[in-house]
Amino acid sequence: MNKITPFLIGGILLFGAVACSEGAKTSADAPNSATQTTASPPAAETVQKTQGDATSDVRKAQANSDIRAREQRNNVTGGDAIRADGDLKSEVRSKLEVNITKGQLTVDAKDGAVTVGGTVPNQQDLAKIEPLAKQIKGVKTVNVTAVVAPATAK
């Protein structure tokens, strides 16, 4: 039993590290990295599928409730200005997902600096990214590498 315990703990830690290595995405077809410079426009049917979920009232309420709960937790613990990178990624992704429904965005965060990459369908949505991200407590700077790429019919 004493020999198997370190093996199990090591396996759990390895699994956790691999599971947490991927950036937060607003859709499954979003780029793998927020700093990816080559962005291809999404297919029109893919946009319609993801937009249906993102625009539902249930999803909007869920995302807003999640953001409020995390902010309340951080206020209680006294960490309202210093946030975990994972919390920032998740909250910014949720905020963007419900406000930019046709985008395929990836979010990365490091020490309050947030990078958002991927594609959005128009210039208005691209302009929304930075102000929406800055609404999340703990976001100090926002680097937008996303590009405008309207959906294509395939």
CA distances from 116 to 2, 31, 47, 83 (A): 45, 10, 18, 17
Considering the chain, what percentage of its residues have pLDDT values greater than 90? 22
Q: Are strands 104-110 and 113-120 parallel, antiparallel or unpaired?
A: antiparallel
What are the start-end ranges of the E strands in 85-130?
Answer: 104-110, 113-120
Mean pLDDT across the stretch 101-120? 90
Mean pLDDT across the stretch 70-85? 71
The Cβ of residue 54 has, within 10 Å, a number of other Cβ atoms equal to 20
pTM attached to this predicted model:
0.60
What is the spatial distance between Cα 126 and Cα 17, in angstroms, rounded to a whole number? Answer: 32
Predicted confidence (pLDDT) at residue 18 exceeds the cutoff of 60? no
Q: Are 82 and 111 in contact (CB under 8 A)?
A: no
Q: Which residue has the higher pLDDT, 75 or 135?
A: 135
What is the spatial distance between Cα 46 and Cα 54, in angstroms, rounded to a whole number? Answer: 12
Predicted confidence (pLDDT) at residue 69 exceeds the cutoff of 70? yes
Sequence-ordered list of residues with C-beta below 8 angstroms from that of 103, at least 6 positions apart, any chain = 26, 27, 96, 118, 119, 120, 121, 125, 146
Using CA atoms of 74, 126, 102, 53 in order, give the dihedral in degrees to the nearest 10: 10
